[in-house]
Amino acid sequence: MWSIINVELYKIFRRPRTYIAFGAIAALIIVIQLGLKIDGNTYAAFLMKDINDTLTVDGKVLNGYLICYILLQLLLVHVPLLVALIAADMISGEANLGTLRLLFTTPFSRTHWVLAKFIAASVYTILLLIWLAFLALFVSMWVFGTDDLFLMKSNYVVLIQQNDVLWRYVGAFVFASFSLLTVTSLGFLMSSLSNNSIGPIVGTMSAIVFFTILSTLNIPLFNLVKPYLFTTHMNNWKEFFDIQVNANNEAIHGSILNIPKIKNSLWVLTFHIILFVSASIIIIKKKDILS
Amino acid sequence: MSVIKVQHISKHFGSLKAVDDLSFEVQAGQVFGFLGQNGSGKSTTIRMLLSLIHPTSGSIEIFGKPIEKNRETILEQVGAIIERPDLYPYLSAQEHLQLFAKVRKQRIATTNIKETLEKVGLANRANDKVQTFSLGMKQRLGIAIALVHNPSLIILDEPTNGLDPQGIADIRQLIQHLAKEEGKTVLVSSHLLSEIEQVAHQILIIHQGKKMVEGVTKELLDPQKRIVQIKTTDDANALQLIAVGSFSNYLLPRKEGIFLKIPTYEIPLLNETLVKAGVALLGIETKNSLEDYFLQITSNA
Amino acid sequence: MKKNTILFFASSLFSLCLLISVTALAQTDPLIEKVAQKLALVNDYVAEGTMKTDVSFIKASLGKVKVYFKKPNLLKVKKEGGISLLPRGGVSLTINSLLNTKQYTTIPVGTQLLNGKNVSVIKLIPTDDNLDWVISTLWIDPLEALVYKTATTTKENGSYEINMQYGEYAKQGLASKIIFSFNTKDYKLPNGITLEFGDEDPTAKQKALKNKKGTIEITYSKYTINKGIPNNIF
């Protein structure tokens, strides 16, 4: 099994297309970082307009931790599209190329191949996330410095102490890996249904956009299905950055407001991953390879 | 010993019967020619042999074991190219072989990879990316992939596609070498029958999914059973004369032209009979190649 | 003539002094003077303490702070390695800052019972238009000459209430705990900016709207007094 995972990884990282996503992420992050470096204070002042009416905020609000949070907010919506570019091509791309029949005539079962391809696509996804973490977190920390994380949410502000932030990012990135692996598995499922690359890539992107709209619209009818949609849960990495308060309204250092919500989301995402990958295996096992 | 044993396999795609109740056996060390026109069901059959397509009915045994249940063990000993030589454009020839060597359970030495590339004439292009290869070179690389793990059964689907005459001759030689010198069993399919008749011990002709004929190549090419096309000044009268006379047994039913499966020594007598009846013989064409035989069978079916 | 001249000047000087002292008596309450005198002993201080922010829409943990003060009214609250949230303009309204300007008139209002203590209530009205406060009320324990509460209305930053508790540094008039109370305005950022969709908690929202009073509490553990502070700190 390891040998075919190796083969799949080798193929992924020899393909020029693979590096588009890494390049795109780097370009996006650098542009945003540059923008915030040059004119970040205007942006911060705009965000803090309401707060500044009442309070004076003293300290380095626009520090690396906040920049990373802003970047993740913006990028984790779009990274799935980059993941789809590779994941949705894993099977259908080879079917289109005609090489799938070469793989399926080797002494490994189709289940093994599908799993190897999924694992390889997952490695790619995780590496993409690590790349994103490196650029968004560590480069931002280096460029903007560190301080407490002053998060302006829709209805309240969370001030997380500097020494209480980094582990939350680790948690958020682990959570985000589940979100992106769900996208990988969805891309995979789409990929197993088709013999060309474009269909599954567009299909995966469309599905994400469609379900994201359902998840964000506050319409009672949609609210019934929302808890079961993976897109509803994909953005819950943010929960790592909400903090519990005690009876005196003091934030509790090292706490997370809603751990059950994170757990529930992880379960829903894991369920989707298993469902999508299992369905892919079943489809591929039954499929006649005609390409 | 049968290396491949196919029993009554059929494959239906909706209402289309791509393969219809096909049975055949391939013996160890044999070069088995699998002939048919494009779309006759050859590739579907080969894909079923390699478990790429699930048969609608029937059974396939390779090395005495059902393919469905012993897929991995069987495929360890099988090398194949199927139709087009589809490869990874961003990898070199050597990288392809390294990649496919990895997916074999036994360890394949680097020298093996080099030897295989030499065997197919790609040693000097080993490090070039496949996207720079001609169709013929891709075909050679496809064959190299099929051979790199030293399989005992080699299935080559249209291996001469895209090759120039020299390439075709090389592949023919290679197939003969594999069977004679290395004792491998080779199943080779083609629609160009002239290629097959020179290498195959046994030939099976398939048309519209059905077996038309199967036999030993030597027998099918027996000069004593040559097919002769005669051209006369009055074909209609000649045909009537043959049909009612002693040559009627040799007459082959054809829509156009007069074809006879006639021993060579009977030809002068036939000529004499026709001349006596006032029908002049314009020409006699001996159809002694398997390709003509194949074309006649399939065009008449 | 010479004697008369001297007498005239002497009587004029006396009258002037009398006038000044009478005016002063009419404008500055002696209790305030007493408090001011006590505070005047402190030229500068650095106080270490913990700060607690209790604003309905802010979740912040206790943080260590250092408060720097220098006469007449320089004040800076610095959170140790972190971001601090302070009532806008409110921090400069400590007793030291208010009284050290000496640009005010006082109006005694009477006495009141505050947390079981009989305290004098005195209103301060600034005489300098440039000061950013309009009126301040002080609740002062006449025996200890300690201010326990102030309520100040500012020109631009609303009203603040400051409650004080005293301990070890009561002699210098320095509080061991200060609680700023102030009114907060609405806080709301559009979902489009925060990218938070579909997970609003309506009860939290209502709660936030109901409780519109914010407090910031600083508990001092240690004062370092009159050791000198460079101006660049402020």
pLDDT above 80 for B288:
no
Q: Which of B273-282, C18-27, C154-163 has the lowest mean pLDDT?
A: C18-27
Give contacts of A77 with chain C, Cβ < 8 Å: 195
Q: Which residue has the tokens 């249940």?
A: B69
Give contacts of C154 with chain A, Cβ < 8 Å: none
Q: How confident is the model at residue A291 (pLDDT cuts 50, 70, 90)?
A: confident
pLDDT above 70 for C199:
no
Length of chain B: 301
All residues at 6 or more sequence positions from A217 whose CB lies less than 8 Å from its CB, including other chains: C198
pLDDT at A276: 95
Residue C176: which domain range? 28-233
A103 CA: distance to closest CA in chain B (Å): 8
Q: How confident is the model at residue C205 (pLDDT cuts 50, 70, 90)?
A: very low
Q: Which residue has the tokens 């791309």?
A: A93
Query: Are B210 and B122 members of one domain?
Result: yes
For residue C72, is the peptide bond before it cis, meaning its omega torsion is within 30 degrees of 0?
yes
C64 touches chain A (CB under 8 A): no
Answer yes or no: is C6 within a domain: no
In this prediction the pTM is 0.81
* End residue of a domain, out of B195, B217, B239: B217
Inspect the interface and report whether the beta carbons of A159 and C190 lie closer than 8 Å: no
B86 touches chain A (CB under 8 A): yes
A213 CA: distance to closest CA in chain C (Å): 10
Q: What phi and psi values does residue A287 have, to the nearest 5 degrees?
A: -75, 140
Q: Report d(CA B296, CA A187) in Å as an integer.
A: 50
B135 touches chain A (CB under 8 A): no
Secondary structure (DSSP) of C144-212 = TTEEEEEEEEESSS-EEEEEEEE-TTGGGT-EEEEEEEEE-------HHHHT--S---HHHHHHHHH--
pLDDT above 90 for A264:
yes
- Looking at chain B, the whole-number percentage of residues with pLDDT higher than 70 is 93
Q: Which of B193-197, C41-45, C73-77, C210-214 has the lowest mean pLDDT?
A: C210-214
pLDDT at C190: 74
Query: Are B79 and B186 members of one domain?
Result: yes
| Sheet containing B202-207, strands listed edge to edge, beginning at the edge strand earlier in sequence | B78-81, B153-157, B185-190, B31-35, B202-207, B210-216
Length of chain A: 291
Please, which chains are in contact with C (at least 3 CB pairs closer than 8 A)? Answer: A
Residue B284: which domain range? 223-300
Query: Are B140 and B175 members of one domain?
Result: yes
Domain count, chain B: 2
Q: Tally Cβ neighbours within 10 Å of residue B242.
A: 22
Q: Report d(CA C6, CA C16) in Å as an integer.
A: 15
**Mean pLDDT, range C87-107, rounded to an integer:** 73
CATH of the domain at C155: 2.50.20.10
B184 CA: distance to closest CA in chain A (Å): 18
pLDDT at C19: 40
pLDDT at B156: 92
Longest CA span, chain A? 70
Query: Are B249 and B108 members of one domain?
Result: no
**Mean pLDDT, range A196-200, rounded to an integer:** 88
Domain count, chain C: 1
- Looking at chain C, the whole-number percentage of residues with pLDDT higher than 70 is 77
Query: Are B207 and B108 members of one domain?
Result: yes
ipTM score of complex: 0.80
pLDDT in tens, A146-192: 988 988 888 888 889 888 999 999 999 999 999 999 999 999 999 99
Query: Are B171 and B234 members of one domain?
Result: no
CATH of the domain at B250: 3.30.70
pLDDT in tens, C4-51: 555 445 544 444 444 444 344 445 678 888 888 888 888 888 999 988
* Identity at A59, one-letter amino acid code: G
Query: Are B193 and B243 members of one domain?
Result: no
A290 touches chain B (CB under 8 A): yes
Inspect the interface and report whether the beta carbons of A77 and C195 lie closer than 8 Å: yes
A249 CA: distance to closest CA in chain C (Å): 6
CATH of the domain at B135: 3.40.50.300
Answer yes or no: is C10 within a domain: no
Q: Report d(CA C191, CA C198) in Å as an integer.
A: 9
Alpha helices in B185-289 (DSSP H): 193-197, 217-220, 235-244, 267-276
**Mean pLDDT, range A223-245, rounded to an integer:** 89
**Mean pLDDT, range A111-120, rounded to an integer:** 94
pLDDT in tens, B260-272: 888 778 888 888 8
Query: Are B210 and B69 members of one domain?
Result: yes
Query: Are B107 and B198 members of one domain?
Result: yes
pLDDT at B196: 84
Q: Report d(CA C179, CA C165) in Å as an integer.
A: 9
Q: Report d(CA B38, CA B21) in Å as an integer.
A: 19
pLDDT above 70 for B232:
yes
Q: How confident is the model at residue C209 (pLDDT cuts 50, 70, 90)?
A: very low
Answer yes or no: is C119 within a domain: yes
Q: Report d(CA B2, CA B80) in Å as an integer.
A: 18
Q: How confident is the model at residue C204 (pLDDT cuts 50, 70, 90)?
A: low
Q: Which of residues 153-212 of A touch B (CB under 8 A)?
A: none
**Mean pLDDT, range B166-192, rounded to an integer:** 88
Helix (H) or strand (E) run with residue C56 in it: none
Q: Which residue has the tokens 């491998």?
A: B184
C208 compared with A230, residue with greater pLDDT:
A230
| 3-state SS assignment for residue C108 | strand
Q: What phi and psi values does residue A79 have, to the nearest 5 degrees?
A: -60, -35
Answer yes or no: is C63 within a domain: yes
pLDDT above 90 for A119:
yes
- Looking at chain A, the whole-number percentage of residues with pLDDT higher than 90 is 49
Q: Report d(CA A237, CA A262) in Å as an integer.
A: 8
Q: Which of B133-137, B283-287, C132-136, C179-183 has the lowest mean pLDDT?
A: B283-287
pLDDT above 80 for B188:
yes
Inspect the interface and report whether the beta carbons of A289 and B52 lie closer than 8 Å: yes
pLDDT above 90 for C160:
no
Query: Are B270 and B130 members of one domain?
Result: no
Q: Which of residues 24-83 of B touch A (CB under 8 A)?
A: 47, 50-54, 71-76, 78, 80, 82-83
Answer yes or no: is C219 within a domain: yes
pLDDT at C143: 87
pLDDT in tens, B106-165: 777 788 888 889 888 888 998 999 999 888 888 889 989 998 888 999 999 988 877 888
**Mean pLDDT, range B210-232, rounded to an integer:** 78
Q: Evaluate whether A57 touches A150 at the Cβ level (below 8 Å).
A: yes
Q: Evaluate whether B61 touches B22 at the Cβ level (below 8 Å).
A: no
Q: How confident is the model at residue B253 (pLDDT cuts 50, 70, 90)?
A: confident
B255 compared with A87, residue with greater pLDDT:
A87
* End residue of a domain, out of B154, B187, B217: B217
